[in-house]
A and B are shown apart, each in its own frame.
Chain A
Amino acid sequence: MSAISREDVAHLAQLAHIEMSDAELDKMTGELGVIVESIASVSEAASADVPATTHPIALSNVFREDVVGETLTAEEALMNAPDSVDTRFRVPAILDGE
């Protein structure tokens, strides 16, 4: 059994907002299957007494003091915006967020 099904890939594509053709789905199902299987080998090494590692370097508490720093101007912020009104970005209405 492959580690990942065609339906899984279609679902991921939908979540990631990536349009994929049938041929691409087939190809990706195979490729992602290989990736998932090779990563699964990690679980052979990990046992219950090995905590999950999210960072390669054992650092913690990298903080910043609560002091205001430099900001962009509205002009700079909007420099690459495809569309804007006054100092706000203008985007298509997308139904149903908040």
Chain B
Amino acid sequence: MAAHIDDLVDFDVALEKYDPVLGFEVHVELSTKTKMFSSAPNVFGDTPNTNVTPVCLGLPGVLPVVNKTAVEYAILIGLALNCKIAERCGFARKNYFYPDTPKNFQTSQYDDPIAYDGWLDIELEDGEVFRVEIERAHMEEDAGKLTHMGGATGRIQGADYSLVDYNRSGVPLVEIVTRTIEGAGKRAPELAKAYVAAIREIVKNLGVSDAKMERGNVRCDANVSLMLKGADKFGTRTETKNVNSLRAVEHAVRFEIERHAAVLNSGAPIVQETRHWHEDTRTTTSGRPKSDADDYRYFPEPDLVPVVTTAEWVEELRSRLPEPPADRRKRLKADWGYSDAEFRDVVNAGVTEAIEETIAAGTTAAVARKWWMGEIARLAKNADVEILDLGVEPATIVELNSLISSKKINDKIARQVLEFVVAGEGTPTEIVAARSLAVVNDDSALGAAIDAAMEAMPDVVAKVKGGKLQAIGALMGPVMKATRGQADAGRVRELVLQKLGIEG
């Protein structure tokens, strides 16, 4: 492949002249136990070609049978995207030849998707809401996984051969297709990222997908075209395939806008084609042009009968819908009394659920935020892991907090105890006991330490007696030393004054 570097136009300059038009196709892998049309397990990461049946391999004579749960998940996704649900729909064969599809067709839906005509409100970072119209969400099946071997880059270009694993073949997919999105302007890349993030959040919240982009559970094809400002006709679009992280979606849309602008400025036409995204260089390269090969000769799948949805069934599913993520965030922010910035930080840190659970377990919203965004976040940063990966339980926070409020330990010790919890030493109470970390409140033990300090520092005692109460601070060092830092400073002061017969 020629090492052609595309010319680019600076993003802001491009946006002065052109309006970007977007469109997205997002594939969501459903987390059903079995595949779309066979009872093979739908499991990621197993030994290749062990989760297969004759149906997954497209062997002669097999018959597919529809997974009812997959249909219900597809309806749930449609409802969550404010779609109408088809009263009757069917499956179709999309014919093409490629080794990832052993039947030589993908079973999909063509002109009668199960869900259609929906919308989704996307909240951008500054709170602006952008409505994205959903054209359709249809059911289909995933293809097998090809690994290209040999060649320089592990990419298909230059590969010697490919290895095929059909464990993914037949995994249920729902493909969500937007209508053309106009008017995003310079916020197009941000909107692209926010849209995919919203879809991911919704399917995760519905419990219908594991929604891990790094595993390909959610995959995005991003369509981009530019039109001259004031023009009334769309430009030619390109489709960037398999952009599989939120950051990549944002970068890919931005890159294509900059590239299209350069091509159009040079007077050349945009070639309607698929583009491949390269994360390492953050660029796209030309895939294949749209051509006759895109004639998929769809026709109704004769082996599958139609799906008919009754109002009763759809309403039963609607009653299962959880609170939409955006509504939930609004409610939580109000309940917790966090500022906009505080709440945004919590969301970005991915600890919304953790804080919710911690509050439910028995702390205030302020205390929960202090721990998760403070000490726990700091430990995670030091360990270079995600906050949730530290495995701190809400119950641990509640326990630490109650140890502090009952004055068994102070804030500083509590932070140490948390570190020991993370290191796997046990619960806070167990650690405080095992490491003798409890604040010394026992007056006889404290009294002995204070007596020893006073005896060793008669001049300090004289100063205190003479009215210089702040001199008590000098006694604190030896007392803390004798109690290994576990004395309660307030209590030490009270006892000293009491011993000297001075009113605090």
Our verdict on whether A and B bind, yes or no, reads yes
Chain A residues packing against B (C-beta within 8 Å): 11, 14-15, 17, 54-55, 57, 59-74, 77-78, 85-98
User: When the two chains form the complex, which single residue of A69, A78, A85, A96 contacts B34, counting CB atoms closer than 8 Å?
Assistant: A69
Given contacts A69-B34, A96-B156, 16 further A-B contacts (CB under 8 A): A15-B295, A59-B305, A60-B307, A60-B308, A63-B68, A66-B67, A66-B68, A71-B51, A72-B52, A77-B166, A87-B165, A88-B147, A88-B165, A93-B159, A94-B98, A95-B157
Chain B 135-168: CB-based contact to A (< 8 A → 1; otherwise 0) = 0000000000011111100001101111111100
**What is the minimal beta-carbon distance from A32 to any residue of chain B, in angstroms?**
14
**What is the minimal beta-carbon distance from A96 to any residue of chain B, in angstroms?**
5
Please indicate the chain B residues that have their CB under 8 angstroms from the CB of A94 in the complex. Answer: 98-99, 156, 162
Near A by CB (< 8 A), chain B positions 481-500 give none
Please indicate the chain A residues that have their CB under 8 angstroms from the CB of B278 in the complex. Answer: none
Contact B292 A66 (CB under 8 A): no
User: When the two chains form the complex, which single residue of A64, A78, A93 contacts B67, counting CB atoms closer than 8 Å?
Assistant: A64
> Assuming A67-B33, A89-B163, A98-B146, is B156 touching A74 (CB within 8 A)?
no
Contact A96 B287 (CB under 8 A): yes
Asked whether B65 is an interface residue with its Cβ less than 8 Å from the other chain, the reply is yes
| Number of A-B residue pairs having CB atoms within 8 Å of each other in the complex | 144
> Assuming A66-B68, A92-B161, is B49 touching A87 (CB within 8 A)?
yes
Please indicate the chain B residues that have their CB under 8 angstroms from the CB of A85 in the complex. Answer: 163
Please indicate the chain B residues that have their CB under 8 angstroms from the CB of A87 in the complex. Answer: 47-50, 165
> Assuming A15-B292, A15-B297, A60-B88, is B306 touching A88 (CB within 8 A)?
no
Can you name 25 A-B residue pairings with CB atoms under 8 Å?
A: A15-B292, A15-B297, A60-B305, A60-B307, A62-B65, A62-B304, A63-B66, A64-B66, A64-B67, A65-B69, A66-B33, A67-B39, A71-B51, A72-B52, A74-B50, A77-B50, A77-B52, A87-B48, A87-B165, A89-B49, A89-B164, A94-B99, A96-B156, A97-B100, A98-B241
Asked whether B57 is an interface residue with its Cβ less than 8 Å from the other chain, the reply is yes
**What is the minimal beta-carbon distance from B27 to any residue of chain A, in angstroms?**
12
Chain B residues packing against A (C-beta within 8 Å): 32-34, 38-41, 47-54, 57, 65-71, 88, 90, 95, 97-100, 146-151, 156-157, 159-166, 241-242, 287-288, 292-293, 295, 297, 300, 302, 304-308
Cβ-closest chain B residue relative to A95 = B156
